Amino acid sequence: MLDALLPFARSWLGGVQVDVTRYATFAIGVWFVLWVVLAIPLASRKIRESRPPGRQLLIEFLTSIRSIMIFSTVGLLTFGLHRAGWLPGPDMAKTWGAAWLWTSIILMIIAHDAWFYWTHRLIHDRRLFRTFHRRHHRSNNPSPFTAYSFDLGEAAINAVFVPLWLILVPTPWAAVGAFMLHQIVRNTIGHSGYELFPAGKDGRPLIPWLTTVTHHDLHHAQAGWNYGLYFTWWDRLMSTEHPDYLKRFAAVAARKDRTLDATSSSSAA
């Protein structure tokens, strides 16, 4: 019995180690680069004047570690199915070449955005919010550490996407790794509090179908809007984009432009 459980224990511990390393690397890295190293140069790109207290950051970090443990526990479903030979998709897909590798990464990101949007809207229902999503919104002023700061139920909802995807779509393991890297990068940056996305001459996001930091920051400030994770199209299609989103984004971009103009004028003088 013990011998049968050992591979599952090793898989769980390995999953926790990889996810904790990935989360800590990007959460701490984004925090250190934006909030410490570049805090002065990027001051005009800070969305809010205030910063969350240190106690919030610590709670977010510890809660995120707990979420990662839930991710790895749900991930045992994938491990068990693959070990039993009931999940042939990854082994099939690895022989399908680079074209399918990149296509599967893109499709997985698009599908995850849809999964996130609709499950996110679901757990904002007042009957579910306290149980599934309250923890995340305790971070009214988010930080990079907010990325995985979930209640247990929300962590499970987010974790189940990967097993479901692998059951339905043959996807190489390398694509799954790339997907996981993409989602933690977007997640930590999306909670960073600094608007890093470029604006066009009209003040609108240069790539309008990508969610910006302002887009998700507004969700934390005023829950009920902006449910999307990577893309804006579901919010636009379902009329859940914050009515002041583009104006708020343009205001942050304009602050940057004024700073640059003032610096240029001083240099010229």
Residues contacting 129, CB < 8 A, separation 6+: 123
Gap between the Cα atoms of 215 and 227, Å rounded: 9
- pLDDT band at 263; cut points 50, 70, 90: very low
Per-residue pLDDT at 254:
87
Per-residue pLDDT at 262:
41
Residue spans of the domains in the chain: they are 2-262
pLDDT tops 50 at residue 268: no
Calculate what percentage of the chain has a pLDDT beyond 70: 93
pLDDT in tens, 232-243: 999 999 999 999
pLDDT tops 80 at residue 4: no
pLDDT in tens, 185-217: 999 999 999 999 999 999 999 999 999 999 999
Per-residue pLDDT at 1:
67
Mean local confidence (pLDDT), 171-180: 97
pLDDT tops 80 at residue 148: yes
Mean pLDDT, the chain, whole residue set: 93
pLDDT tops 50 at residue 257: no
Question: Which residue reads 């995340």 in tokens?
Answer: 136
Tell me which of 264 and 170 has the higher pLDDT: 170
- pLDDT band at 256; cut points 50, 70, 90: low
pLDDT in tens, 16-45: 999 999 999 999 999 999 999 999 999 999
Phi/psi at 39 (5° precision): -60, -40
Q: Which of 50, 71, 223, 205 is nearest to 143 (CA)?
A: 50
pLDDT tops 80 at residue 259: no
Note if the pTM is more than 0.85. yes
Mean local confidence (pLDDT), 9-13: 91
137, HSE (Cβ side, Cα atoms, 13 Å): 19
pLDDT in tens, 129-139: 999 999 999 99
pLDDT in tens, 96-112: 999 999 999 999 999 99
Per-residue pLDDT at 248:
95
> Structure tokens of 98?
């680079």
Gap between the Cα atoms of 229 and 109, Å rounded: 10
- pLDDT band at 255; cut points 50, 70, 90: confident
Mean local confidence (pLDDT), 116-142: 97
pLDDT in tens, 47-95: 999 999 999 999 999 999 999 999 999 999 999 998 889 999 999 999 9
